[in-house]
Each structure stands twice: as C-alpha cells, then as structure tokens.
Amino acid sequence: MKDRDVRAVILAGGRGTRFWPLGRAARPKQFLRIAGPEPMLLETVRRIRPLVPPRKLTLIADALQTRQARKLLPRLPAGSFLVEPEARNTGPALMLATARVWLENPDAVVVVLPADHLIRERAKFLVRMRAGIEAAARESAFVTFGIRPTFPATGYGYIGYDREAGKTIGGTVFYPVRGFREKPALARAEEYIASGDHAWNSGMFLWRAGVFAEKLARFAPELEPAWAAIVAALKSGSPAKLKRAFRLAPASSIDYALMEKADGVLVADGDFGWSDVGAWSALAGIWPRDGAGNAVRGEALALDARNCLVWNPGRLTALVGVRDLIVVEAGDALLICDAGHDQKVKDVVEALKKTEKYGKYI
C-alpha cells in the first residue's frame, strides 16, 4: 500500500436541484453544509486525505464550480482542479481525469468519489478503500462499492453480483459483478432485494489507469477516438483541442458508457454508513431529532409539532400543530414542503425556470 501510486478523482460537478432553495444553480449540494459542519465537498476531500496526498487529488467540475471549489480549498495546488470543457455527465469527465493520470503512470490506482455523499463511518471507509486499492492494483478489474439495499428504491441503479464467488482482499470480500441495472420499476426493485445478490450502485469506483484504457479499448471501442483525442490534447496542452476532444465522448455516465459493458468488475459491500443525501427528507435520518421527531438547524419552538425538518439558521422557527413538514429558509426564498412530497422540490425549480421574473430564485 505504501508504495502504491494512488490518485483520487472527486466528481465535484453535480448540479442537483433537490436542495432548493438552499441549493441553487450557483451553489449546488456539494457546497452545502447540510450533512456535517463543512460543505460536503470539503468533507469528501478530508475523508480520503489519509490515503491520498493533496498533490494526487483531482477535483473535476465545470468552470463555475471549479471557482467555488478553489475558494473552499485554497491550499490545494492549482493542478488539482481539472475544468471540464463542458458538463457532459461522468463518462467524459472520468475519461479526462483518468487520461491525465495514465499519461503520468498507467499503474497508478484511481479512486473515484462523488463529492456529495455522506459517509458516517470514516474509519471503516478507509479500511474498505485500502482494500479496494489493493484489489484494483492486483486484479485487472474495475472495483466498485455497492450499498446493501434497505428498501426497494427506484431512484438508484443496482449492481448484481455472484455471491458464491467472493474473494477476500485486504479483509474485504470482493464479488464478481454480473451486471449493472438501471433504476428499476418497483416490482423489479423488490426482486433485486429478495434476491440477496444486488446492491445499490454508490458511484464510487477504483481502477488502475492502464486497466481503464484497456477495458475502454476492448469493451467500448466507440469511445476510442475520444480517448485518443483527449490524450493528444492533454499532451499538447491546448484548451481548444481538449474542448473538441471532450465533445467526441458521448454525454453519458461512466456506468452506461463503460462499466456495464465491461468484464472484470468487482463489487464489495460499502458498509461504512453511506448516504447519497438525495433530498431534504434524507436529513431527517442524519440530523439529531428532539423527542417529537423534529430536526432543526437554527432555533425552533415546537408546540404540538412532530417530525418536521427545519433549516433556518440564525432565526427562530415556531412550529404549531404541524406534522411531517420540511421548512427551508434561504435568503430570498422559503420552502414549505410535505415530507412525503420532497421529490417535487425539483419540480419547483422547473416551474421557476418557466417564469422569467422567478429566474433570480433558481
């Protein structure tokens, strides 16, 4: 492990709208202090720090979010920030980030981490990542972490695996992946859960840079021209060339573009208290709650109020006779949402987009 060249690539370019009105176009989820005392991006950087020194860290995001990330992490070297020529989902971004590593050292192990996930058990996370790094280094495999499903979620992708063929590396069992499954309908999700051999796709991946290049050539040859052009553009140092090269790659996720086509994928149990913090109601399971189930950031006075989630720092919120509400006060906008309807928060943003005078609230 000590001799391994390990690189972390943090996907910092998400643009979710589910945390409106706190999350805005110019301040997406990874910049919010919702799951801990620091912005999620900063927590992600600190979490992997024991395994990856700053000079081996890459944050990839678009220009706007890179500016914000640099403000948040002023001591990271400038080279840590890799600007996507344009937002094209995770496929092109990870081809670019991996190509940069590959040019330096094809044997380096790349650890890909979303910037906006919560990991409650940091020590266990490091144990699993160390094992994942070993697995990626020793095997010519893509390594992933799957989350044991607790309910038949239809909002996550699933990973099916062969639970009879596990192999222990670094104290962690890695199973051969049978296939990636797109977000399923409910009945299918229930089947996955009942099967006992499907996990949620956490979006965390590890690979040796050279293995990535080989698997791309073998299983997704349609990506070869883009890969070659990106490598050439990086060698030339020309932003214009890089932009053209980047556009050759289809705008799709790495899962869809490469992972689900490839043989030699391993998955281990991501049993380190993972949450993707997908919407406001997820925070009800993360923030401390009072005896009546209310979880509050700010001051609150609850009279006959239960199971409310309040974000209103610096102000007093009085809750009277209400149940199961999400209340978010953020500058010029206030959200009052039934807890069972928080998937509709993104619809609010869509509705705001349709009215010009509301543009300032997005």
The site for a copy of itself (CB under 8 A) is made up of 20-21, 299, 301, 303-304, 308, 312, 314-322, 325, 327, 329, 332-338, 340-342, 344-345, 347-348, 351-352, 358, 361
Query: Please, what is the minimum distance in Å from the beta carbon of residue 28 to a copy of itself?
Result: 18
Q: Which of 115, 6, 117 is nearest to 61 (CA)?
A: 115
Q: Which is nearer to a copy of itself, 189 or 325 (CB)?
A: 325
DSSP conformation class of 350: H
Query: Please, what is the minimum distance in Å from the beta carbon of residue 27 to a copy of itself?
Result: 16
DSSP conformation class of 108: P
Query: Please, what is the minimum distance in Å from the beta carbon of residue 323 to a copy of itself?
Result: 8
Q: Which is nearer to a copy of itself, 177 or 337 (CB)?
A: 337
Query: Please, what is the minimum distance in Å from the beta carbon of residue 300 to a copy of itself?
Result: 9
Q: Which is nearer to a copy of itself, 18 or 117 (CB)?
A: 18
Query: Please, what is the minimum distance in Å from the beta carbon of residue 279 to a copy of itself?
Result: 12
| Integer Cα distance of 62 and 14 in angstroms | 9
Query: Please, what is the minimum distance in Å from the beta carbon of residue 144 to a copy of itself?
Result: 35
What is the chain's length? 362
Q: Which is nearer to a copy of itself, 21 or 23 (CB)?
A: 21
Q: Which is nearer to a copy of itself, 77 or 340 (CB)?
A: 340
Q: Which is nearer to a copy of itself, 164 or 332 (CB)?
A: 332
Q: Which is nearer to a copy of itself, 196 or 314 (CB)?
A: 314
SS (H, E, C) the chain: CCCCCEEEEEECCCCCCCCCCCCECCECHHHCCCCCCCCHHHHHHHHHCCCCCHHHEEEEECHHHHHHHHHHCCCCCHHHEEECCCCCCHHHHHHHHHHHHHHHCCCCEEEEEECCCEECCHHHHHHHHHHHHHHHHHCCCEEEEEECCCCCCCCCCEEEECCCCCEEECCEEEEEEEEEECCCCHHHHHHHHHHCCEEEEEEEEEEEHHHHHHHHHHHCHHHHHHHHHHHHHHHHCCHHHHHHHHHHCCCCCHHHHCHHHCCCEEEEECCCCEECCCCHHHHHHCCCCCCCCCEEEEEEEEECCECCEEEEEEEEEEEECCECEEEEEECCEEEEEEHHHHHHHHHHHHHHHCCHHHHHHC
Cβ atoms of 162 and 176 within 8 Å: the answer is: yes
Query: Please, what is the minimum distance in Å from the beta carbon of residue 344 to a copy of itself?
Result: 5
Query: Please, what is the minimum distance in Å from the beta carbon of residue 357 to a copy of itself?
Result: 8
Q: Which is nearer to a copy of itself, 262 or 319 (CB)?
A: 319
Q: Which is nearer to a copy of itself, 263 or 338 (CB)?
A: 338
Query: Please, what is the minimum distance in Å from the beta carbon of residue 269 to a copy of itself?
Result: 35
